[in-house]
Chain A
Amino acid sequence: MKAISKDSRLRYHCQLRQSAAERQADTHPLTWRLREDGARVGFEEYCAKEGYQSATHTLKERTPDNVIDTMKQANVRGRGGGGFSAGVKWGLTQVGDQLPRGYLICNADEMEPGTFKDRLLLEQLPHLLIESMIIAGYANRSYYGYIFLRGEYVEAASSVAMAIEEARQAGLLGSDIGGSGFDFDIALHTGAGRYICGEETALINSLEGKRANPRAKPPFPGQSGAWGKPTVVNNVETLCNVPSVMQHGADWHQGLSGRLSEDGGTKLYGVSGLVERPGLWELPIGTSGREILERAGGMRQGHTLKAWLPGGGSTGFLLPEHLDLPMDFDTIGQYGSRLGTGVIAVVSERQSIVSLLRNLEQFFARESCGWCTPCRDGLPWTVKILQALERGEGKPEYIEILEQHTIGLNSPRTFCAHAPGAMMPLESALKLFRAEFEAGIASTSLEGVS
Chain B
Amino acid sequence: MATIHVDGKAYEVDGADNLLHACLSLGLDIPYFCWHPAMDSVGACRQCAVKQYKDKNDTQGKLVMSCMTASTDNSWISIDDEEAKTFRANVVEWLMTYHPHDCPVCEEGGHCHLQDVTVMTGHDRRRYDFRKRTHRNQYLGPFVAHEMNRCINCYRCVRFYNDYAGGTDLGVFGSNNNLYFGRHQEGVLESPFAGNLTEVCPTGVFTDQTHSDRYVRKWDMQFAPSVCHQCAVGCNISPGERYGEIRRIENRYHGELNRYFLCDRGRFGYGYVNRTDRPRQPEWRSEGRSEQADDAVALEVDPALDRGADLLRSARRVIGIGSPRASLESNHQLIKLVGRDNFSNGIVAAELACLERMAQLESSCGLPIPTVREVEAHDAVLVLGEDLMHSAARLALAVRQAVLARRDALAEARGIPTWNAEAVKTLAQDSKHPLFIAYPSTTELDEISAGSWQLAPADIARLGFAIAHIIDENAPAVTGLDETFATAAQAVAGQLMAAKRPLVISGGSLESTQVLDAAGSIARALSRRARRAGLMLIRREANSTGLTMLGGRPLEWALDEIVEGRADALVVLENDLYVRLPEARVEAALDTATALVVLDHQRTRTWQRARLGLAAASFTEADGTLVNLEGRAQRFYQVFDTSYIRPESRIHQSWRWLHALRISLIRGEDSTITLDQATEACAQDYPALADIVASSLSADYRVKGVKLARSPHRSSGRTSLRADIAVSEPRTSQDPDTPFTFSMEGYSGFDRPRKEVPFAWAPGWNSHQAWNKFTDEVGGHLRGGDPGVRLVAPRPGAYRYASDIPAAFEPQQDRWQLLVLPRLFGGEETSSRSAPIEERAELPTIGLSSADAARRGFEQGASLTLETETACLTLPLRCDQRLPSGIVSLPAGISSEFSSGDWARLEASGPDHKEARE
Contact = CB atoms under 8 A, between A and B. Distances in A.
Interface stretch (B418-426, B455-463, B580-588, B821-829): B418-426
Contacts of B414: 219, 223-224
A370 B174 contact: yes
A367 interface: yes
Kindly list the 4 A-B residue pairs having the minimum CB-CB distance in the complex, ordered from nearest: A377-B94, A384-B130, A228-B427, A368-B176
Interface stretch (A47-55, A278-286, A317-325, A410-418): A410-418
Contacts of A413: 46, 49, 63, 87
A365 interface: yes
Contact of B175 (A215, A370, A381, A388): A370
Nearest to B429: A228
Nearest to B45: A373
Interface string B774-800: 000000000000000000000000000
A372 B43 contact: yes
A408 B68 contact: no
Contacts of B45: 372-373
Contact of B127 (A367, A373, A397): A397
B416 interface: yes
B686 interface: no
Given A219-B427, A224-B416, A376-B177, 5 more contacts: A228-B429, A370-B179, A376-B153, A379-B176, A412-B62
A395 B127 CA distance: 11
A303 interface: no
B175 A194 contact: yes
B894 interface: no
A415 B44 contact: yes
B interface majority secondary structure: loop
Interface string A359-376: 000000111111111101
Given A219-B416, A374-B90, A412 B64 contact: yes
Contacts of A372: 43-46
A396 interface: no
Given A194-B175, A228-B426, A369-B175, A378 B94 contact: yes
Given A380-B176, A414-B46, A216 B94 contact: no
Interface in A211-235: 211-212, 215-216, 218-219, 223-224, 227-228
Interface in B56-91: 62-64, 68, 87, 90-91
Contacts of B44: 371-373, 415
Interface string A400-420: 010010001000111100000
B128 A381 contact: yes
A371 B128 CA distance: 21
B47 interface: yes
B176 A404 contact: no
Contacts of B87: 408, 413
Nearest to A228: B427
Contacts of B174: 370
Nearest to B98: A377
Contacts of A370: 153, 174-179
Given A365-B177, A413-B49, A413-B63, A373 B91 contact: yes
B43 A373 contact: no
B423 A215 contact: yes
Contacts of A404: 90
A447 B95 CA distance: 31
B428 interface: yes
A381 B87 CA distance: 16
A377 B97 contact: yes
Interface string B109-133: 0000000000000000001111000
Interface residues of A, number: 38
20 contacts: A216-B42, A219-B414, A224-B416, A365-B177, A367-B176, A370-B179, A372-B43, A373-B45, A373-B95, A373-B152, A373-B153, A374-B46, A376-B153, A377-B94, A377-B97, A377-B98, A379-B176, A380-B97, A381-B97, A413-B87
A414 B427 CA distance: 23
A368 B177 contact: yes
A216 B420 contact: yes
Q: Pick from A223, A370, A401 the residue with the most CB of B within 10 Å.
A: A370
Q: Which of B42, B98, B175, B422 has the most CB of A within 10 A?
A: B175
A199 B172 CA distance: 20
B94 A373 contact: yes
Most chain A CB within a 10 A radius of its CB, from B44, B47, B49: B44
A395 B428 CA distance: 51
A414 B68 CA distance: 12
Contact of B427 (A224, A373, A412): A224
Contacts of B176: 365-370, 376, 379-380
Contacts of B130: 381, 384, 388
A374 B127 contact: no
Residue among A395, A414, A415 with max Cβ neighbours from chain B (10 Å): A415
A372 B176 CA distance: 10
Contacts of A371: 44, 155
Interface string B145-180: 000000011010000000000000000101111110
Contacts of A414: 46
Interface string A174-194: 000000000000000000001
Contacts of A412: 62-64
A368 B422 CA distance: 19
A409 B365 CA distance: 61
A397 B174 CA distance: 32
Nearest to A98: B413
A447 B63 CA distance: 39
A93 to B, nearest CB: 14
A194 B46 CA distance: 23
A202 to B, nearest CB: 11
B768 to A, nearest CB: 22
A219 B422 CA distance: 10
Nearest to B413: A98
Nearest to B152: A373
Most buried by B among A211, A223, A228, A378: A228
A408 B427 contact: no
B489 to A, nearest CB: 31
B68 A216 contact: yes
B91 A374 contact: yes
Nearest to A196: B175
A388 B128 CA distance: 12
A105 to B, nearest CB: 15
A391 to B, nearest CB: 12
A374 B416 contact: no
Given A224-B426, A368-B175, A377-B177, A216 B43 contact: yes
Interface in B367-416: 414, 416
Nearest to B87: A413
Contacts of A378: 94
Nearest to B426: A228
Contacts of A377: 94-95, 97-98, 177
Contacts of A395: 129
A435 B690 CA distance: 83
Contact of A415 (B43, B95, B97, B429): B43
A18 to B, nearest CB: 39
A377 B154 CA distance: 12
A413 B64 CA distance: 7
Nearest to A217: B423
Contacts of A224: 414, 416, 423, 426-427
A239 to B, nearest CB: 24
B423 A216 contact: yes
A228 B172 CA distance: 23
A366 B97 CA distance: 16
Nearest to B41: A216
Given A215-B422, A372-B43, A413-B63, A381 B94 contact: yes
A371 B422 CA distance: 13
Contacts of A216: 42-43, 68, 420, 422-423
Nearest to B92: A373
A367 B45 CA distance: 18
